[in-house]
A and B are shown apart, each in its own frame.
Chain A
Amino acid sequence: MTPRRRRMLWVGLVLAGVSLAAFLALTAFQKNLLYFYTPSQVAAGEAPRGYPFRVGGLVVQGSVQRQSDSLTVRFTVTDGAASVPVVYTGLLPDLFREGQGIISIGQIDGGGIFEATEVLAKHDENYMPPEVADALKKSGQTLPTNYGDYRK
């Protein structure tokens, strides 16, 4: 074996070894790498009880109820299969609206309601001019309801 081939083999082995190690580590930490739980996971009892976690989903159309005398908002998030009621007091990000993806941090109280301490908007990967969005709505096509982000 020439020195060059030996070096080639060595570089290949380093790459293979590191890839294997990374694969094993990521598989082991799979759950810890999830930034949020989906409503289905919460319904299945996979989310932790008694300490804070994040839940993500689309805000259900028509579910947002604001209290007239405070900043408290109630709404429901869904991934199409299950949904979680959320209550939050505070300022909402610009992108928060019905049908929009959001991620909130908090914990489930005794009554199964998610008490959020923070709400983040999750932008989806669609970009279009307002006129195109309007045209889509007019032609009867609803804007794509994208549950893909919340079903992993």
Chain B
Amino acid sequence: MWLFFHKLASPKHFYRIAGKLIPWLGGLTLILFLAGLYLGLIVAPPDYQQGESYRIMFVHVPSAWMSLFIYVFMAALSAIGLIWNIKLADVMASSSAALGAWFTFLALATGSLWGKPMWGAWWVWDARLTSELILLFLYLGYIALVSAIEDKRTAARAGGVLILVGVVNIPIIHYSVEWWNTLHQGPTVTRLDKPSIHLSMLLPLLIMALAFQLYYFTVVLMRARVEVLERERRSGWVQELFPDGSLERADVMHQQHSSPVDLP
């Protein structure tokens, strides 16, 4: 087990293992998406209060869950990167940020579209909505900070500290609807006492949540592979993988893209 993790942390093995995993994860994601959308949009009955409009939750709720999950995952990766100096943890964290930001945006946008007809307002400054908006700013701040620093290790350290400081926002988002009066409704699925959602609606929701989760892992591995190649472009194993020197040329282009250069 530990040996596997040690191997996984080396860029070379990560590149190989991720390459094998991606097609499987991607295929499973596609199947789950189709099943979830079919069950959610066609099979599931309308809601007794909201009619058909509630179906937006099959995108809204998984997006919101993913926005929290990715942040916690990034915080764990950042802690690992800071403490044990594992480069791959930095790669995974920085590859996750854009995905997290998009999921957060999706949760806010779909919530807004639902809020206008149901609540009567596109946006209100209640505790849940405001803390989720802060989460979007944390993601954007992280992306801006990491891309503003040239040196990858310094960038990862600075970004890691930002993510760790911001992690305090996660329990606030989750419990906001229980701690304070909010316009946003309370938790439905994570309640322990009694299920307050009918099974025919819960099932597509959970399938969609799993599809979103696998989508994230598929895309983050793809992004991390590219990032690994770019960081390791001068190392032996990358040269072996691309013997014709195509990456070296990309490297030259990358460094000189500000001035036009003649390529063979």
- B181 touching A38, Cβ below 8 Å: yes
Q: Taking the complex as formed, is B167 at the interface, i.e. its CB lies under 8 A from any CB of chain A?
A: yes
For residue A32, give the distance in angstroms from its CB to the closest CB of chain B.
10
Q: Taking the complex as formed, is A117 at the interface, i.e. its CB lies under 8 A from any CB of chain B?
A: no
Residues of A within 8 A of B127 (CB): 33, 35
- B197 touching A126, Cβ below 8 Å: yes
Q: Taking the complex as formed, is B232 at the interface, i.e. its CB lies under 8 A from any CB of chain A?
A: no
Q: Taking the complex as formed, is A8 at the interface, i.e. its CB lies under 8 A from any CB of chain B?
A: yes
Instruction: Identify which of B4-12, B41-49, B220-228, B236-244 touches chain A.
Output: B41-49
Q: Which single member of B119, B196, B200 contacts A120 (CB below 8 Å)?
A: B119
Report if A11-B164 is in contact (Cβ < 8 Å); known contacts: A123-B118, A127-B201, A128-B197. Answer: yes
Contact with A along B36-60 (1 / 0, CB 8 A): 0000000001111110001000000
Once bound together, how far apart are the Cα atoms of A128 and B51, in whole Å?
Answer: 10
Instruction: Identify which of B23-31, B64-72, B184-192 touches chain A.
Output: B184-192
Q: Which of B120, B161, B168 gathers most chain A CB within 10 Å? A: B120
Instruction: Identify which of B78-86, B143-151, B211-219, B247-255 touches chain A.
Output: B78-86
For residue B121, give the distance in angstroms from its CB to the closest CB of chain A.
6
Interface residues of A in 101-152 (CB under 8 A from B): 103, 118-134, 148-150, 152
Once bound together, how far apart are the Cα atoms of A78 and B76, in whole Å?
Answer: 44
Residues of B within 8 A of A152 (CB): 179-181
For residue A115, give the distance in angstroms from its CB to the closest CB of chain B.
17
- B201 touching A149, Cβ below 8 Å: no
Once bound together, how far apart are the Cα atoms of A4 and B121, in whole Å?
Answer: 50
- A127 touching B186, Cβ below 8 Å: no
- A129 touching B200, Cβ below 8 Å: yes
For residue A33, give the distance in angstroms from its CB to the closest CB of chain B.
5
- B186 touching A148, Cβ below 8 Å: yes
Interface size on A, residues (CB 8 A): 44
Q: Taking the complex as formed, is A22 at the interface, i.e. its CB lies under 8 A from any CB of chain B?
A: yes
Residues of A within 8 A of B124 (CB): 35, 120
- B54 touching A35, Cβ below 8 Å: no
Residues of A within 8 A of B168 (CB): 15, 18-19, 22
Once bound together, how far apart are the Cα atoms of A36 and B182, in whole Å?
Answer: 7
- B48 touching A128, Cβ below 8 Å: yes
- B46 touching A127, Cβ below 8 Å: no
Q: Contact residues of A with B, CB < 8 Å?
A: 4, 7-8, 11, 14-15, 18-19, 22, 26, 33-38, 56, 92-95, 100, 103, 118-134, 148-150, 152
11 new A-B pairs (CB below 8 Å) besides A33-B180, A128-B47, A129-B46? A7-B82, A11-B79, A11-B82, A18-B168, A34-B180, A36-B183, A93-B119, A122-B119, A129-B198, A149-B181, A149-B185
Q: Contact residues of B with A, CB < 8 Å?
A: 45-50, 54, 79, 82-84, 117-121, 124-127, 161, 164-165, 167-168, 172, 179-183, 185-188, 191, 196-198, 200-201
Sample (22) of A-B pairs whose CB atoms are under 8 Å apart = A7-B83, A15-B167, A18-B164, A19-B168, A33-B179, A34-B181, A35-B124, A35-B180, A56-B181, A92-B120, A93-B120, A95-B50, A122-B119, A124-B185, A124-B186, A127-B188, A127-B196, A128-B197, A128-B201, A129-B45, A129-B201, A149-B185
